[in-house]
Amino acid sequence: MRELSFDPSNLEFIFLSHTHSDHLKGVENLSRDLKLPVVIHENLSIDQYTKGGIHRVLSVTPGREYRFRDLRFTPFETHHDAPFSLSFYFEMGDIAITVITDTGKYDSDMIAYAGKSHILFLESNYSEEMLMKGKYPPFLKERIRSDRGHLSNFQAAEFLREVSALENCFIEQIYLCHLSKNNNCPETVLREIGEGCSGKIPLRVCDRGEMVPGIPIQARRSSLVPGGS
């Protein structure tokens, strides 16, 4: 946030997808220090994963829309080996964004949320070839490849082909993210996915730790609604 000149005091919520340490670590301190509510699945008992320092918990129901000022968001369930994991569809003013990571498979709900978004952040976690030839023990390889693991490059490509084929696909920019440190890299993603798999939609692979300083948006929701001005 500091390197992007973003003032943390502008934050309103922390959206917690699941309780694995690479997503949970630091949430407690951030919530407490900035007095921010943490958005979690309604069935998740967060106290067993923290030391009780979360400022406030906002429990949400998958599939239900929530509103706060000009922000609307809808949580939806993912397929991951952490209890009650979520991803989110956001509408901020007239811009819609969907984030899909940490899921071993995708479903029709994910396709629908992605298709009505201007921006899609989609997991492309691992290369099947790199994973199977790598040094991970067999049980970990199977966990990653399972329906409760992560999306491979090939699965991400399939997802993009399906969503871009929708009759009303509003996506203007795709960001492929959550790349494995040991089992993927941007060059492999592009080779295995193919830059043309999403049709005419611009696609960018986000390397680990990479900052995206600005998100290009041209269309607006009003222009996509029949009769909108």
pLDDT higher than 60, residue 218: no
Which pLDDT band holds residue 213 (cuts at 50, 70, 90)?
low
The whole-angstrom separation of Cα 41 and Cα 88 is 11
Q: What pLDDT was estimated at residue 215?
A: 66
pLDDT digits (tens, 9 = 90+) for 137-183: 999 999 999 999 999 999 999 999 999 999 999 999 999 999 999 99
Closest to 225 measured CA to CA, from 88, 116, 68: 116
Q: What pLDDT was estimated at residue 225?
A: 38
pLDDT higher than 60, residue 224: no
97, 119 in Cβ contact below 8 A? yes
pLDDT higher than 50, residue 108: yes
pLDDT higher than 60, residue 115: yes
Q: What pLDDT was estimated at residue 137?
A: 97
Dihedral sign, Cα of residue 180, residue 182, residue 188, residue 194 = negative
pLDDT digits (tens, 9 = 90+) for 200-210: 788 999 998 88
The whole-angstrom separation of Cα 188 and Cα 127 is 7
**Across 8-12, 104-108, 131-135, 193-197, least confident range:** 193-197
Q: Where are the domains of the chain?
A: 1-76, 94-225
Q: What pLDDT was estimated at residue 223?
A: 41
Q: What pLDDT was estimated at residue 95?
A: 92
pLDDT digits (tens, 9 = 90+) for 34-61: 999 999 999 999 999 998 889 999 999 9
Number of neighbours of residue 148 by Cβ within 10 angstroms:
16
Residue with tokens 């409760």: 148
Q: What pLDDT was estimated at residue 93?
A: 84
Q: What is the dihedral angle through the alpha carbons of 146, 147, 151, 157, rounded to the nearest 10 degrees? A: 110
Average confidence score pLDDT of the chain: 90
The whole-angstrom separation of Cα 164 and Cα 111 is 9
Q: What is the 3-state secondary structure (H, E, C) of 5-42?
A: CCCHHHCCCEECCCCCHHHHCCHHHHHHHHCCEEEEEC
